[in-house]
C-alpha cells in the first residue's frame, strides 16, 4: 500500500499555494483591451491621460534614481503638469511604447539602487518603496479603468499596498490625495478615526493640534469605518467602489473627519 501524501509535502504545498499577483502584467492586459479615449474613474482623464501619468511618473522616478547613482546633485521632483505634458501630446501608440520603455528603465534603476535611498516627492524612498509604489500604481489605476473584478479586487486587498499608501499619503503633502489635505487637519478638530478592514489591523488616524499621525493596531472596540481591505485602499486614494459595503459608525468630532475621508471626493 502506498503511503498517504502528507499535508507537509512540499509539492502539495506548491499546488495549494496560489500564484503571486503580477500587478504590472494585469494592468498591461487591461490596457491592451481598452481604447485610448475611454473615460476613467480619474476625473477628467481618459485612458490616454492615465497612461501619460504612469509613463511620466516612471520616467521621473528613473531619472531621479539614475542621477543619484551617477553622483549628480539631488533635484526636486517635478510636478505632475510639467512632466506629463510631453507624454499627453504623443499619439496613443507612441505613448504606450513609452510606458513600456520607461517602466523597464525604472525597473532596472530600482534593481541597481541596493540599500541607498532617493528623494521622491519629498519622501526618502528605498528600492522596496519604489517597487511597491509601482505595484500600487498598477493596481489602483487598473481599477480606474475597469472597476471591480476578481483579480483587481485581490490586488487591491494586499496589505502591503495599504501600508505603502498610508506611508506615502502622510509623507507627501503635495499629492492631491494626501490625507492631511483631505482631512484638512489644520482646521481641526482634534479627533481619532479608526478604519477597520478584517482580518487586517485597524488603521488609526489621530488629528492633534493641526498634525496627523497614522498608526496600526490590533482590532479592539468600535470602529468609525468598516469596509473590505480593497475598499480601504481605494478610500485612502480618494476613491470608492459602490459594490463594496461601507459601514460608518462615527460620533462626535470623529464624524467631521470621517466625512472628509469618505464623503469628500479627491480634488
pLDDT at residue number 263: 75
Q: How far apart (Å, rounded) are the C-alpha atoms in residues 154 and 74?
A: 37
Same domain? For 129 and 194 the reply is no
Q: How far apart (Å, rounded) are the C-alpha atoms in residues 106 and 24?
A: 13
Buried b (16+ CB within 10 A) or exposed e, 108-126: ebbeebeeeebebbebebe
User: Is the preceding peptide bond at 199 cis, omega within 30 degrees of 0?
Assistant: yes
- Within-domain flag for 13: no
Q: What is the number of alpha carbons within 13 Å of residue 161 lying toward its C-beta?
A: 25
CATH of the domain at 213: 3.30.1050.10
Assess contact for 160 and 132: CB atoms under 8 A. yes
pLDDT at residue number 46: 98
Assess contact for 76 and 36: CB atoms under 8 A. no
Q: Which of 196, 197, 214 is closest to 205 using CA atoms?
A: 214
Same domain? For 57 and 119 the reply is yes
Residues of the chain with pLDDT under 50: 1-17, 267
- Within-domain flag for 55: yes
Same domain? For 211 and 104 the reply is no
CATH of the domain at 25: 1.20.120.450
Q: Residue 215: which domain range? A: 186-263
Same domain? For 119 and 197 the reply is no
pLDDT at residue number 3: 37
Q: In angstroms, what is the C-alpha Rg of the chain?
A: 20
Same domain? For 133 and 226 the reply is no
* CB-based burial label for 85 (10 Å; 0-12, 13-18, 19+): exposed
Same domain? For 48 and 88 the reply is yes
pLDDT at residue number 199: 96
| Three-state SS letters, 193-221 | EEEECCCCCEEEEEEECCEEEEEEECCCC
- Report in angstroms the alpha-carbon separations of 228 from 86, 141, 235: 38, 18, 10
Same domain? For 39 and 112 the reply is yes
142 Cβ contact list (under 8 Å, min separation 6) = 23, 26, 27, 30, 152, 155
- Within-domain flag for 65: yes
| Domain stops at, among 156, 177, 204 | 156
pLDDT at residue number 20: 78
Following CA atoms 71, 73, 76, 78 in sequence, which dihedral angle do they give, to the nearest 10 degrees?
-70
pTM of the model: 0.90
Same domain? For 45 and 144 the reply is yes
- Within-domain flag for 84: yes
Q: Under the phi-then-psi rule, with left for phi > 0, alpha for psi from -120 to 50, and beta for the rest, what region is 114?
A: left
Percent of the chain at pLDDT > 90 equals 88
**Which stretches of 147-243 are DSSP H helices?**
150-156, 159-169, 179-182, 229-236
Number of structural domains (the chain) is: 2
Query: Cell triple for residue 66?
Result: 539614475
Same domain? For 32 and 121 the reply is yes
Same domain? For 150 and 193 the reply is no
- Within-domain flag for 5: no
Q: Which of 171, 60, 178 is closest to 124 using CA atoms?
A: 171
A 10 A CB-CB count for 228 gives 18
- Within-domain flag for 172: no
- Within-domain flag for 238: yes
User: Is the preceding peptide bond at 189 cis, omega within 30 degrees of 0?
Assistant: yes
Same domain? For 130 and 251 the reply is no
- Reported as a single tens digit per residue, the pLDDT across 149-194 is 999 999 999 999 999 999 999 999 889 899 999 999 999 899 999 9
Same domain? For 209 and 90 the reply is no
- Within-domain flag for 163: no
Amino acid at each position: 500500500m502506498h503511503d498517504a501524501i502528507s499535508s507537509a509535502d512540499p509539492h502539495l504545498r506548491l499546488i495549494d499555494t496560489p500564484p503571486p499577483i503580477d500587478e504590472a502584467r494585469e494592468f498591461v492586459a487591461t490596457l491592451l483591451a481598452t481604447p485610448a479615449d475611454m473615460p476613467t474613474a480619474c476625473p477628467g482623464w481618459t485612458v490616454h491621460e492615465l497612461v501619460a501619468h504612469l509613463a511620466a511618473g516612471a520616467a521621473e522616478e528613473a531619472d531621479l534614481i539614475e542621477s543619484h547613482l551617477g553622483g549628480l546633485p539631488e533635484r526636486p521632483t517635478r510636478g505632475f503638469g510639467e512632466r506629463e505634458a510631453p507624454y499627453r501630446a504623443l499619439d496613443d501608440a507612441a505613448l504606450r511604447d513609452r510606458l513600456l520603455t520607461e517602466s523597464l528603465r525604472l525597473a532596472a534603476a530600482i534593481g541597481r539602487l541596493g540599500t541607498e535611498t532617493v528623494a521622491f516627492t519629498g519622501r526618502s524612498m528605498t528600492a522596496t518603496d519604489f517597487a511597491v509604489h509601482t505595484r500600487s500604481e498598477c493596481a489602483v489605476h487598473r481599477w480606474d479603468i475597469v472597476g471591480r473584478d476578481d483579480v483587481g479586487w485581490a490586488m487591491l486587498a494586499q496589505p502591503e499596498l495599504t501600508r505603502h499608501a498610508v506611508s506615502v499619503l502622510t509623507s507627501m503633502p503635495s499629492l492631491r490625495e494626501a490625507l492631511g489635505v483631505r482631512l484638512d487637519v489644520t482646521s481641526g478638530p482634534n479627533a481619532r478615526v479608526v478604519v477597520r478592514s478584517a482580518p487586517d489591523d485597524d488603521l488609526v488616524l489621530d488629528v492633534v493640534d493641526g498634525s496627523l499621525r497614522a498608526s496600526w493596531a490590533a482590532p479592539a472596540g468600535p470602529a468609525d469605518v468598516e469596509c473590505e481591505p480593497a475598499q480601504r485602499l481605494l478610500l485612502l486614494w480618494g476613491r470608492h467602489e459602490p459594490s463594496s459595503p461601507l459601514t460608518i459608525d462615527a460620533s462626535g468630532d470623529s464624524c467631521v473627519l470621517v466625512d472628509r475621508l469618505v464623503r469628500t471626493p479627491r480634488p
